[in-house]
Structure 1
Amino acid sequence: MKKRNIALFCGLFLLASQLTGCNQTTSVQPEKEELKVEQTQDTTQKEDIKEEQEIKISVTDFPKETDPERYALAKKQLDEYHAKYPNITLEPTDWAYDINSFLPKAASGQLPTMYGTWFTEVNKIVDAGYAADITDIVKEWGYDKYLDPNMLEVLSKDGRIYGLPIGGYSVGVMYNTDLFKQAGLVDDGGNALIPQNFEEMAQFAQTITEKTGVPGFFFPTKSNQGGWMFTTLAWNFGAEFETFEDGKWKAVFNSPEAVQALQYIKDLRWKYNVLPDNLLVDYGDFFKYFGTGQVGMAFSTLDWLNNPVVDYKMDKDLVGMFGLPVGPAGEEGRGVLMGGTVRMFSPNATPEEIDAVFKYLEITGYTPNADPEVEKTLQETVQADLAIDKIVGPYGLSPWGSGPRREAEIKILTENANVDMSKFENYLTHGMTDLRPEEPIATQELYKLLDSVVQTVLTDEKADPQKLLDQAVAEFQANYLDKQQ
């Protein structure tokens, strides 16, 4: 029972006691006293009915039946929720956020009570008025004390909170431990060597290509993913993309540092020749290449470790991950891209409906606390992953930056690890530091524009990185940033 329910009950009990006491003091006839008590009980019943009003909510993020273990767990949790809160009807929906379908749904008032999206979409959604302000309820539940401050900053505007982080990621490098071994990139103990800077990483990729015949590196070029990975690469060369000057946003990613970063990508193709022959690729292609032993390494996120393992039956013991090497900007200029997914709420949702969603999230284990029920949920989730031989053990960013839940999560994951954790030690040490959020304005549009820039330098040996970025800056400024002013 929540504190406010307890307070309500106590207040009603005290009210009934005071009424009875007054009746006794004034020597009211027994018949009237009985009537008074009946009236008090009726008031209590009305308050109970008000507290237990019928509520109907809808949510996204429900697992699909194609993931049977996770689906069974989610169905079990949903049944528990309905049993605990019989006055609430929760309807899961299979609608998933995408840029094209969101605006029509939002404009027509058909958003689910809670919907998921990406960190990059928060600003535009809030500015358009399609997200509820949940600041007060976040504080009422005490979540603000434990939510990761980096994520909370991304999900806030003008000091108000508009979303709950589902999970976060930071970019590192996934690598095939067997290909490293075949290429001789191991120490005396047989452990993979870790490249210390971007130049060394390109040389490692070249060695893998020459020694094994397998492309040493993968870089995406479509589905907004080429631009996405170009930003985190360029930050480490010292580049900036969007700056706020004199009250206006300005595109600045045609600097010498950005040009140098684009030249690095070009060199992966024309100098080192370490990329797959198919250059029009996204991470769906990477999962296939990596899962079938056809690529050595790539920028990646920890939550992608299992895609090659589950989808292509890759031996999980061949997967490793290390943190981003140091770029030309040095340790002080290091920038590790942090992104993630977020739960937001329909602007039409009532406080009672939002509270009902929070109750559902707590049933699923979304809480900073670590009571036995939460630990049970965490264990069940891990066991569901172990049942289908997913990689278990390595941990990344969590919505809960601190507190008992975070500690319990790390403990349960490491105790149930089914892989050699030394293959992830570098990432666990360096992969979640120097975090930097994605660019704030028209982020996905920026990525899409940069996709074409990356494609051009990989398909045209004579392409001029400076001219390409000059053109992209002018286009992005005119078509997006100027329209934001």
Structure 2
Amino acid sequence: MNSFSLRRAAGLLLAGSLSLTAVACSQADDGGTAAGGKVTISVNGQPPQTQPFDRKVFDEDVAEFEAANPDIDIEPHEGFMDPKTFSAKLAGGQLEDVFYAYFTDPANLIARRQAADITEYVKDMPHYDAIRPELRDVFSKDGKVYGVPTANYSMGLLYNRTLFTQAGLNPDQPPKTWDEVREAAKKIAALGDGKVGFAEYSKNNQGGWHFTAWMYSVGGQVARQDGDKWVADFNNDKGREALQHLKDMRWTDNTMGEKQLLVIEDVQQMMGAGQLGMYLAAPDNVPTLVNQFKGDYANYGLTGIPDGEGTLIGGEGYMLNPKASPEKIKAGLKWIQWKFLNPDRFEKNLQRYKDQGQPIGLPVPPVADVWTGDIAAKQTELKEKLATVPVANFKSYVDAKPKGRIEPPNAQQVYAILDNVMQAVLTNRDADISQLLADAEAKVNPVLAQVK
């Protein structure tokens, strides 16, 4: 049992010795504020015991925050938001005061009025205006704010620097366009010995996910709002452009290998084994290649997504229970800012991760990559100062600033349909791209019609 569990267990024993009348007096309709002026807030996002380092960091942060803010008591809950149970927890009074949300969640929660309007409160939140505006927009609607982003990722092009060198390519000048990717893939595949120039997913909804990334990269989209409804928006020139490029690499150039119907683990294994030149990925793939597939940080580079007209972004943030009192909202925002969005704690957080052998210098947490201006510059400076990986290998990714787009509504259902499109292009030389897109559109539109 950790120190917080012990403290709360003691509190429960003490409460049990009090009369019901006394307890009722201390817990009357006070918005979560006890007689002594202390506000208690429940928060989720606590890592499970099976992740001991992350759990230790979280619990240490709770203790430090409470010591610095003696008028606030944090009740941490394991786990994150589960869309299947969210509404029932809210209706039953079981939803935490401060709850985690993926970037795909806020739009629906806001539409259903299942998150508190915090517009007036964020005005007093330190550094809120320095958060990248496109990330703030994920949690906003019609000029009102309903949550705060705390971390994000965006898709880029992950490549093998060793294979680039062997193929006569400059690993410090990675491809910037899909045409350049195609040419680099030819040179890598020409090395022989089973080398694959470029790989792509096409199963388990991952094909549709990456087709979405392709669409964004060339300036297209998968779904758009038409009045008060959503409609498919890929059966067009942008969709045909993306699929034709993929088809040409697969069948005309033969740079994608014979084995298809791949998922992320297949591609990571190929890259970790030194057999793959490039694939679309977020920065968190790099530690996976090293830790699970015996790769080396020095062998990998990450650059911006080809063509750079847009990129798929994802991430997370925190929202507040719509039933939370003003006191709880203020306390909750104070916790979110202190824990996740605190430039004064950048160096401490980086150092303790470094002390535990965690990689420092990648464009991933422990310091949230959500900033603009001077705070972003400070973050970059500290990551370079404490780096344990070659920061220069990922600089072109950090410097690229394509427009970020979140996933489409009902994303997983849409992706399942688009998997079939990707599979057909990658397994059938004679696949009819226009027909595939038309068929997929007819299936996706009913899925999007369900969006409220």
For the aligned pair, the TM-score class normalised by the smaller chain equals 0.7 to 0.9
Contact 2:150 2:340 in 1 (8 A): no
State which of 370, 376, 381 in structure 2 corresponds to 1:406: 376
Taking a change above 3 Å as real, the CA distance of residues 71 and 248 of structure 1, as seen in their structure-2 partners, is closer
Instruction: Name the CA distance, whole Å, in 2 between partners of 1:388 and 1:288.
Output: 26
Contact 1:171 1:337 in 2 (8 A): yes
Name 2:66's counterpart in structure 1.
82
The Cα offsets for residues 367-426 of structure 1, whole Å up to 9 and x where unpaired, read as 3xx4xxx2xx322322343345444224478333234x4332221101112333332232
Instruction: Name the CA distance, whole Å, in 2 between partners of 1:344 and 1:440.
Output: 20
Q: Secondary structure at the match of 1:338?
A: strand
Q: Secondary structure at the match of 2:373?
A: coil
Instruction: Name the CA distance, whole Å, in 2 between partners of 1:141 and 1:52.
Output: 25
Instruction: Name the CA distance, whole Å, in 2 between partners of 1:243 and 1:57.
Output: 38
Instruction: Name the CA distance, whole Å, in 2 between partners of 1:479 and 1:425.
Output: 39
Name 1:215's counterpart in structure 2.
196
Name 1:452's counterpart in structure 2.
420
Name 1:364's counterpart in structure 2.
339
Is 1:346 the counterpart of 2:321 in the alignment? yes
State which of 213, 220, 235 in structure 2 corresponds to 1:232: 213
Taking a change above 3 Å as real, the CA distance of residues 239 and 410 of structure 1, as seen in their structure-2 partners, is closer
Following TM superposition, by how much is the alpha carbon of 1:253 offset from its aligned partner in structure 2, in angstroms? 1.2
Instruction: Name the CA distance, whole Å, in 2 between partners of 1:289 and 1:387.
Output: 31
Taking a change above 3 Å as real, the CA distance of residues 401 and 252 of structure 1, as seen in their structure-2 partners, is same
Taking a change above 3 Å as real, the CA distance of residues 290 and 386 of structure 1, as seen in their structure-2 partners, is farther
Name 1:185's counterpart in structure 2.
169
Deviates more, 1:149-158 or 1:95-104: 95-104
Taking a change above 3 Å as real, the CA distance of residues 113 and 272 of structure 1, as seen in their structure-2 partners, is farther
The Cα offsets for residues 227-269 of structure 1, whole Å up to 9 and x where unpaired, read as 2221231234443433344655432311122122122223333
Taking a change above 3 Å as real, the CA distance of residues 413 and 238 of structure 1, as seen in their structure-2 partners, is closer
Name 1:96's counterpart in structure 2.
80
> Cα RMSD over matched residues?
2.9
Is 1:442 the counterpart of 2:442 in the alignment? no
Name 1:426's counterpart in structure 2.
396
Query: Counterpart of 1:393 in structure 2: which amino acid?
Result: G
Instruction: Name the CA distance, whole Å, in 2 between partners of 1:311 and 1:53.
Output: 49
**Structure 1, gaps ≥5 residues long:** 1-45
Query: Counterpart of 1:227 in structure 2: which amino acid?
Result: G
Contact 1:392 1:416 in 2 (8 A): yes
Name 1:257's counterpart in structure 2.
238
Taking a change above 3 Å as real, the CA distance of residues 245 and 163 of structure 1, as seen in their structure-2 partners, is same
State which of 199, 206, 210 in structure 1 corresponds to 2:186: 206
Following TM superposition, by how much is the alpha carbon of 1:151 offset from its aligned partner in structure 2, in angstroms? 1.0
Q: Secondary structure at the match of 2:188?
A: helix
Contact 2:297 2:390 in 1 (8 A): no
Following TM superposition, by how much is the alpha carbon of 1:67 offset from its aligned partner in structure 2, in angstroms? 4.3
Q: Secondary structure at the match of 2:231?
A: strand
Query: Counterpart of 2:391 in structure 1: which amino acid?
Result: M
Paired residues, number? 417
Calculate percent identity across the aligned residue pairs. Answer: 30
State which of 311, 316, 341 in structure 2 corresponds to 1:336: 311
Name 1:23's counterpart in structure 2.
none
Is 1:141 the counterpart of 2:125 in the alignment? yes
Name 1:4's counterpart in structure 2.
none
Following TM superposition, by how much is the alpha carbon of 1:112 offset from its aligned partner in structure 2, in angstroms? 2.1
Deviates more, 1:446-455 or 1:92-101: 92-101
Q: Whose helix proportion is higher, 1 or 2?
A: 1
Following TM superposition, by how much is the alpha carbon of 1:427 offset from its aligned partner in structure 2, in angstroms? 1.8
Name 2:17's counterpart in structure 1.
none
Name 1:170's counterpart in structure 2.
154
Is 1:125 the counterpart of 2:109 in the alignment? yes
Instruction: Name the CA distance, whole Å, in 2 between partners of 1:256 and 1:466.
Output: 10
Q: Secondary structure at the match of 1:91?
A: strand
Instruction: Name the CA distance, whole Å, in 2 between partners of 1:248 and 1:323.
Output: 32
Q: Secondary structure at the match of 1:275?
A: coil
Contact 2:413 2:447 in 1 (8 A): no
State which of 416, 425, 438 in structure 1 corresponds to 2:386: 416
Contact 2:230 2:448 in 1 (8 A): no
Name 2:433's counterpart in structure 1.
465
Name 1:309's counterpart in structure 2.
290
Following TM superposition, by how much is the alpha carbon of 1:161 offset from its aligned partner in structure 2, in angstroms? 0.8
Contact 2:157 2:280 in 1 (8 A): yes
Name 1:38's counterpart in structure 2.
none
Larger radius of gyration: 1
Contact 1:154 1:437 in 2 (8 A): no
Deviates more, 1:111-120 or 1:49-58: 49-58
Following TM superposition, by how much is the alpha carbon of 1:164 offset from its aligned partner in structure 2, in angstroms? 0.8
Query: Counterpart of 1:264 in structure 2: which amino acid?
Result: H
Give the alignment's TM-score, normalised by structure 1. 0.77
Query: Counterpart of 2:210 in structure 1: which amino acid?
Result: M
Name 1:22's counterpart in structure 2.
none
Name 1:11's counterpart in structure 2.
none
Contact 1:338 1:435 in 2 (8 A): no
Contact 1:457 1:465 in 2 (8 A): yes
Taking a change above 3 Å as real, the CA distance of residues 281 and 57 of structure 1, as seen in their structure-2 partners, is farther
Taking a change above 3 Å as real, the CA distance of residues 395 and 341 of structure 1, as seen in their structure-2 partners, is same
Instruction: Name the CA distance, whole Å, in 1 between partners of 2:108 and 2:201.
Output: 25
Taking a change above 3 Å as real, the CA distance of residues 400 and 185 of structure 1, as seen in their structure-2 partners, is closer
Query: Counterpart of 2:271 in structure 1: which amino acid?
Result: F
Taking a change above 3 Å as real, the CA distance of residues 325 and 163 of structure 1, as seen in their structure-2 partners, is same
Query: Counterpart of 1:57 in structure 2: which amino acid?
Result: I
Taking a change above 3 Å as real, the CA distance of residues 280 and 65 of structure 1, as seen in their structure-2 partners, is farther
**Structure 2, gaps ≥5 residues long:** 1-29
Taking a change above 3 Å as real, the CA distance of residues 257 and 138 of structure 1, as seen in their structure-2 partners, is same
Give the alignment's TM-score, normalised by structure 2. 0.82
State which of 289, 294, 300 in structure 1 corresponds to 2:270: 289
Name 1:197's counterpart in structure 2.
177
